Amino acid sequence: METVLFLIVFIGVPTFILLYWIIKLAVRQGILEANKIMQNPKTPKTYDSITKIICTNCDGEHDLDWPKCPHCGHINKMI
């Protein structure tokens, strides 16, 4: 019975942590890759076509499809 506990603690836990870090790194790398594409001037800037609105509360610019202002949380009703 102690052998099972030993296996769980000394093999299962490090394996779980290792997997967690691999997934975390993969996600981070994915985000970095996405940022590179966004920063590349050759890539068509499709995100620029999204209509921007100015928040009536803090004067911060944000996309029209955001339900709330990302800067202050103010709900901007554009309709």
Strands (E), 1-79: 52-54, 61-63
71 makes contact with Zn ion (CB under 5 A): yes
Q: Does 75 bind Zn ion (CB under 5 A)?
A: no
Is 58 one of the binding residues for Zn ion (CB under 5 A)? yes
Residue with tokens 């944000």: 62
Q: Tell me the closest approach of the beta carbon of residue 56 to Zn ion, in angstroms.
A: 8
Interacting residues with Zn ion between 16 and 55 (CB under 5 A): 55
DSSP letter (8 states) at residue 46:
G
Residues 6 or more apart whose CB falls under 8 angstroms from that of 75 comprise 67, 68, 69
Name the site residues for Zn ion (rule: CB under 5 A): 55, 57-58, 60, 69, 71-72, 74
